[in-house]
Amino acid sequence: MDIKLELTNGYRLHFLELSRILGYLKEQPGRKIIPRQEIIEALGMPIRQYESLSSIMVALGLIRPATFVLTPLGSTIAGKDLFFEKEETLWLLHYTVSCNPKWVVWHRLVTQVFPNQSLINAVSCAPYFSDLSANYSASSLERKVPKEINAVLYAYSETHFLKLNFISKIAAGQWKREEPNKITPLPFLFSLLLFQEMMDRKSTGISLTEALTGELSPAKVLNLERYEVEILFDQLHNTRFANLENFGDLHQLRYAHGLSKQLILNEIYH
Measure the CA–CA gap between 182 and 231, rounded to whole angstroms.
11
Sheet of strand 250-255: strand arrangement: 205-207, 250-255, 242-247
- Residues 137-153 pLDDT 10s: 999 999 999 999 999 99
Asked, for residue 9, whether it belongs to a domain, the answer is no
Q: Is residue 52 included in any domain, yes or no?
A: yes
- Let me know whether 258 and 207 are in one domain: yes
Domain end residue (candidates: 148, 177, 206): 177
In a domain, 147, yes or no: yes
Confidence at residue 10, expressed as pLDDT on a 0 to 100 scale: 87
Looking at residue 53, its amino acid is L
What phi and psi, each to the nearest 5 degrees, are found at residue 59? -65, -35
- Asked if pLDDT for residue 248 goes beyond 90, the answer is no
Q: How much of the chain, in percent, has pLDDT values that exceed 70?
A: 100
pLDDT over 90 at 15, yes or no: yes
Residue 257 lies in a domain: yes
Domain housing 156: 90-177
Q: What is the pLDDT of residues 98-130, one digit of tens each?
A: 999 999 999 999 999 999 999 999 999 999 999
Is 4 part of a structural domain of the chain? Answer: no
The span from the CA of 252 to the CA of 52, in Å, is: 40
191 in the same domain as 164: no
Per-residue burial over 190-209, b = 16 or more CB atoms within 10 Å of its CB, e = otherwise: bbbbbbbeeeeeeeebbbbe
pLDDT bucket at 249, cuts 50 / 70 / 90: confident
* pLDDT value of residue 1: 66
Instruction: Give domain status of residue 3, yes or no.
Output: no
**Domain identity same for 173 and 190:** no
Q: Do 122 and 99 fall within a single domain?
A: yes
* Whether 61 and 112 share a structural domain: no
Of 115, 139, 140, which Cα lies nearest the Cα of 128?
115
Count up the domains in the chain and report the number.
Answer: 3
| Mean pLDDT, all residues of the chain | 96
Q: In this structure, are 162 and 214 located in the same domain?
A: no
Indicate whether 26 and 99 sit together in one domain.
Answer: no
How far is 250 from 266, CA to CA, in rounded Å?
30
Q: What are phi and psi of 56, to 5 degrees?
A: -65, -40
**Residue 197 resides in a domain:** yes
pLDDT digits (tens, 9 = 90+) for 28-63: 999 999 999 999 999 999 999 999 999 999 999 999
Q: Compute the average pLDDT of residues 240-260.
A: 93
- Do 96 and 173 share a domain, yes or no? yes
User: Do 163 and 111 sit in the same domain of this protein?
Assistant: yes
What percent of the chain stands above pLDDT 90? 93
Each residue's pLDDT tens digit, 168-179 = 999 999 999 999
pLDDT at 215: 83
**Of the candidates 150, 177, 204, which is a domain's last residue?**
177
Are 63 and 114 found together in one domain? Answer: no
Domain termination residue (choose one: 153, 177, 201): 177
Instruction: Identify whether residues 94 and 149 lie together within a single domain.
Output: yes
CATH of the domain at 50: 1.10.10
DSSP state of 258: T
Asked whether the predicted pLDDT for residue 76 surpasses 80, the reply is yes
- Is 6 inside any structural domain? no
pLDDT digits (tens, 9 = 90+) for 189-231: 999 999 999 998 888 999 999 999 988 999 999 999 999 999 9
pTM for this entry: 0.97
